[in-house]
Amino acid sequence: KIPGQRLPLAKYGGRHTVTALPGDGIGPEMIEHIRKIFSFCHVPVNFEEVQVSSSLVGVNDLEAALLAIERNGVAIKGNIETKHDDPSFKSRNVELRSRLDLYANILHCVTIPTVPSRHKDIDVVLIRENTEGEYSGLEHETVPGIVESIKIVTREKIERIARMAFEYATLNGRKKITAVHKANIQKLGDGLFLKVIRDMSEEYKNIKFESMIVDNASMQLVSRPQQFDVMVMPNLYGNIISNIACGLVGGPGLVSGMNIGSKYAVFETGTRNTGTSLAGKDLANPTAFIRASIDMLRYLDCHYHANLISDALWKTLVEQRVHTRDLGGQHSASDVVNCTLQNVEKIMEAER
Ligand code: ADP
Ligand code: MG
């Protein structure tokens, strides 16, 4: 359950319209899998597809995507590749999140039985500030060899992410929030982050509050991840900590990630990989994308279909162990999808 959840803007003839941004790499084939599953399950959702790709230079594709999301309220998205070597090329993913003010990135990392992982019984929710901090994109070379990278944090945005974390915890029966920071070094910036969240914790007496320095949090996460319940983090630490957490429960192919703002919501995979080397081979694990589509259905209040797809996927992964290579299996992405559809059919038959 997401605090302050808004109903989507677009619903015509009983059907939602959502924007689909396939992106690069494995994105397009993953969106095809989602389309196939949705149409098989008669999910009342139409897709408005907009191509945004790093290779479409000079095309106003990002503006078209933003317009479509503003119109529909909701999107599902693959990653858009960002080149590292061209400083003038800004990440379109970052730009999209900041322009839509998708201030919270929320991941739920849970171990799945039969999926190999280094630890058992992990169940942690990661809530990451998604628009400011190190991602402000303000960098310049003052004189050759000297670069300033500006990290901006504001009380207003810290309060917003902190509120999201406490409200999320309250709404979902969570017991503890850990604020991750480096306030011993970044005394002002991370100091403010910590202070704002600690002050707010006074309003939530039923939720235990603790803080942890990011280096220790990383170590604790890989050695004793079960101690964590909800983690709230500034942008860059949140990125790194979420990747550690996703790695712990089985890798980039499994976990979904929600980008939530006060108006719009965009659903992605948790680690936002492009998966360029896997593209077109039917090898990438479709689970993270399928779970992103389930998150989206829950957001749209389509709970029947969300549960149907979620139960069918669970049977595929856990009971039938249809695992792709990243999980040590031999199955293709299509095998996972087809098996899930067969399970949907069985569940629907059992209901009749
Ligand atoms: P790339 O260099 O292709 O952009 P990424 O950075 O996107 O790779 O992904 C990092 C790693 O995660 C790669 O080894 C990639 O193969 C793997 N990976 C990403 N997505 C998936 C997926 N859905 N299933 C399995 N492996 C994945
Ligand atoms: Mg990549």
| Residue 289: other Cβ atoms inside 10 A | 27
Write out pLDDT tens, residues 309-350: 999 999 999 999 999 999 999 999 999 999 999 999 999 999
Q: Is 228 exposed, middle or buried (0-12, 13-18, 19+ CB in 10 A)?
A: buried
Q: Are 92 and 82 in contact (CB under 8 A)?
A: yes
How far, in whole angstroms, is CA 211 from its chain's centroid? Answer: 23
Cα separation, 320 vs 322, whole angstroms: 6
* Distance from Cα 251 to the centre of ligand 1, integer Å: 9
Residue 278 Cβ inside 6 Å of ligand 1? The answer reads yes
Residues 6+ apart with CB under 8 A from 227: 220
Cα separation, 50 vs 30, whole angstroms: 15
| Amino acid of residue 306 | A
CA angle, residues 281, 109, 3, in degrees to nearest 5: 115
* Distance from Cα 273 to the centre of ligand 1, integer Å: 6
> What pLDDT score was predicted for residue 89?
76
Residue 280 Cβ inside 6 Å of ligand 1? The answer reads no
Q: Which ligand is nearest to the CA of 278?
A: 1
* Distance from Cα 222 to the centre of ligand 2, integer Å: 23
In eight-state DSSP terms, residue 17 is E
Looking at the CA of residue 278, tell me the nearest atom of ligand 1: 16
Nearest residue by C-alpha to atom 21 in ligand 1:
253
> What pLDDT score was predicted for residue 11?
77
104, β-bridge pairs: 129, 260
Looking at the CA of residue 81, tell me the nearest atom of ligand 1: 4
Residue 273 Cβ inside 6 Å of ligand 1? The answer reads yes
97, two tokens: 């999140």
> What pLDDT score was predicted for residue 13?
85
SS (H, E, C) 171-227: HCCCCEEEEEECCCCCCCHHHHHHHHHHHHHCCCCCCEEEEEEHHHHHHHHHHCHHH
pTM of the model: 0.95
259 sits in which H/E element = strand 256-260
Write out pLDDT tens, residues 28-86: 999 999 999 999 999 999 999 999 877 656 668 899 999 999 999 999 999 999 877 77
Give the pairing of strands 230-233 and 176-181: parallel
Residue 252 Cβ inside 6 Å of ligand 1? The answer reads yes
| Residue 155: other Cβ atoms inside 10 A | 11
For the chain, what is the largest distance between any 2 Cα atoms, rounded to a whole number of angstroms?
Answer: 72
Mean pLDDT per 10-residue section of the chain, whose length is 352 residues = 72 90 97 98 96 73 94 96 77 93 98 94 98 91 95 97 98 98 96 98 98 98 98 98 97 97 96 96 98 97 96 98 97 98 97 88
State the ipTM, two decimals.
0.94
Q: Are 338 and 282 in contact (CB under 8 A)?
A: no
> What pLDDT score was predicted for residue 54?
73
